[in-house]
A and B are shown apart, each in its own frame.
Chain A
Amino acid sequence: RKEVEQDPGPFNVPEGATVAFNCTYSNSASQSFFWYRQDCRKEPKLLMSVYSSGNEDGRFTAQLNRASQYISLLIRDSKLSDSATYLCVVNEGAGNNRKLIWGLGTSLAVNP
């Protein structure tokens, strides 16, 4: 089993749709979680951290389910500008041994 798994998509949705991505992780000791966004031929940028209680930032909601070892990202009222690859990232280890494990990304295309 891969350390971090995502459905690669692509997800094709119309503008205004709600779309959800899931990501599973294998290490139950993982400590923190992130969603990064990567536009075509650009570098990844942090979209949002994922907190245990779930968190929301505008149209974006992130949730963590430790029991089932998955995180999710929900995008409401999707915009054309949301088209990108969404990378799930899991922080393992502690102290100097902390490292980020990256998923392969989920591709989203929002269509007019």
Chain B
Amino acid sequence: DTGVSQDPRHKITKRGQNVTFRCDPISEHNRLYWYRQTLGQGPEFLTYFQNEAQLEKSRLLSDRFSAERPKGSFSTLEIQRTEQGDSAMYLCASSSAPLSYNEQFFGPGTRLTVL
């Protein structure tokens, strides 16, 4: 399967714990995006990378959230000191720039439940 993959698919954690998610984009895509989605809402942009450079971070991304893409391939999203409000689906997407229409291909997501 050459699509976007995410790991784990589900994560249950206790409030206050740290969690880390991984995303492997489509191999030739140099742009990688992280979104958060809660039930009944559209995806909320968190951050994106072009190669290894983090070009934009949403105001939604508090200092408890950090994302990396050290070699310009896979990316990790870490949430420190998780809160119940962090419970959501975390989606990763990749795209190929400078594709004019910027279609994004999504992974299956990581569903986080904070107890």
Contact = CB atoms under 8 A, between A and B. Distances in A.
For chain A, the bracket of interface size reads: 20 to 34
Contact of A105 (B42, B101, B103, B106): B42
A91 B102 CA distance: 8
B101 A44 contact: no
A45 B106 contact: yes
A34 B42 contact: no
A34 B108 contact: no
Contacts of A32: 100-102
B50 interface: yes
Interface centre among A32, A97, A102 (most CB of B within 10 A): A102
A43 B108 contact: yes
Q: Is the interface of B mostly helix, strand, loop or mixed?
A: loop
Interface of B: 35, 40-45, 48, 50, 55-56, 91, 100-109
A43 B109 contact: yes
A91 B101 contact: yes
Contacts of A49: 101, 103
B32 to A, nearest CB: 13
Contacts of A101: 45
User: Which 10 residue pairs across A and B have the least CB separation, nearest first?
Assistant: A43-B106, A102-B42, A104-B42, A102-B43, A105-B42, A46-B103, A49-B101, A32-B101, A44-B106, A87-B42
